[in-house]
Chain A
């Protein structure tokens, strides 16, 4: 049974603290690739803590992603390791992702930030006010000095954004809601809570930024999953792929005036609208009787617009277009959903 569905999706991103540019490039594309099929096992961007609440007609997702090694006040090899804690319906998922972000100065796997930073032009050092200099004259000198410093800072960020990439290899284990206690049988004598593990999931993702305006991502996932804890369930293999493309199509502020924008200078935040599209695909292999919701495969294309108004006012509007094939009458209803992403903090790179 082939079906085509069109739904409207609205995503809001709320960041309570200014983002670190070291995480910005990877986060811009990293948020996009797994909006629907693998949202419970995705590791998102590279912030210290990211909380995500997603409500939809058929499922509710709550998740927190934590980068614990960013709390260590020194460079280390595990700076981009992330932990995933999520709950989708009654399934709890715990995962660890070994990541690498070449914009993170505190990841000892790369010296790229160091090399880019040291290429910044050296300027004559700032002087203090001379005795015979008026306040107005000194202020004019400082304004010119600061303007040059801001330009140098932005140029550095632009160089950092070019050929920025990150990757993550992750593993997640998903558990059913009942993980112990007495076994319960149904009317046919089958144990309904025989299994504890719902799924083992392996994933790999790569994000790449050509520059600050153009980003790509690709990823793959492999899952061994059973659809319920009942005794007669068999494992089904799922192989999935995801990719996304984002282009900063519209600047909401004249580029010539961006140097007057504090957030642009400090954090390279560009008020803009990004046009993008993501693609997700999942294919089931195994006994058809045990396919989750009866899906043999499901493909989701989602064109979207990312509105980046201010660091604390960002949202996404997307239109997922789904194509899927089922082996029985099981269907999943779809409808508009609302998603909030909350970046709680962003310390230590």
Chain B
């Protein structure tokens, strides 16, 4: 996964400053999941796409985590872009509280939150399969 916004800015380019500003003006989006710490959660997929585009993988392999927090950089996008995130995770114990969000960090906004309010409860062996949409804000 490319986690640098500036990787594609070419030092040899005559438009270096413009390229830098272009990157800075884009909106950075993250997919964030928070859950009860020490609860074993397996992420089977976090895929995203721009409307009418192809799917991209935010994680190349499955992730096993008990940290209670995972933050995945989806990329940087122009304001107004429609993003769809498709995720699937699996509970390996009772998970009392879990929430997934699509977040924009400039300016800081929660674009999508699921569930919309409160937290979801997962029983052992439950899969959470969901598709969330968000529009990038100015």
A positions within 8 Å CB-CB of B: 18, 20-22, 73-75, 105-106, 108, 113-114, 117-118, 120, 122-128, 130-131, 145, 149, 153, 156, 265-267, 346-349
Q: Which residue of B lies closest to A74 (CB)?
A: B36
Interface size class of B (residues with CB under 8 A): 20 to 34
A125 touches B37 (CB 8 A): no
* Residue of A73, A126, A346, A347 touching B45 (CB-CB under 8 A): A126
| C-alpha spacing A36/B65, complex, angstroms | 43
Q: Kindly list chain A residues whose C-beta atoms are within 8 Å of the C-beta of B38.
A: 75, 105-106, 108, 113-114
- B38-49 vs A: 1/0 string, CB under 8 Å? 111011111101
B44 touches A346 (CB 8 A): no
* Residue of B55, B62, B94, B125 touching A123 (CB-CB under 8 A): B62
Q: Kindly list chain A residues whose C-beta atoms are within 8 Å of the C-beta of B64.
A: 117-118, 120, 122
| C-alpha spacing A111/B47, complex, angstroms | 31
Most A-side CB within 10 Å, residue of B94, B121, B123: B94
B66 within 8 A of A: yes
A18 touches B96 (CB 8 A): no
A128 to chain B, nearest CB (A): 4
Known: A20-B124, A113-B66, A348-B94. A128 touches B47 (CB 8 A): yes
* Residue of B39, B45, B54, B97 touching A125 (CB-CB under 8 A): B45
B56 to chain A, nearest CB (A): 9
Q: Kindly list chain A residues whose C-beta atoms are within 8 Å of the C-beta of B93.
A: 20-22, 105-106, 113, 349
A127 touches B94 (CB 8 A): no
B51 within 8 A of A: no
Q: Kindly list chain A residues whose C-beta atoms are within 8 Å of the C-beta of B59.
A: 125
A125 touches B44 (CB 8 A): yes
Q: Kindly list chain B residues whose C-beta atoms are within 8 Å of the C-beta of A120.
A: 42, 64
* Residue of B43, B55, B90, B97 touching A127 (CB-CB under 8 A): B55
B118 to chain A, nearest CB (A): 12
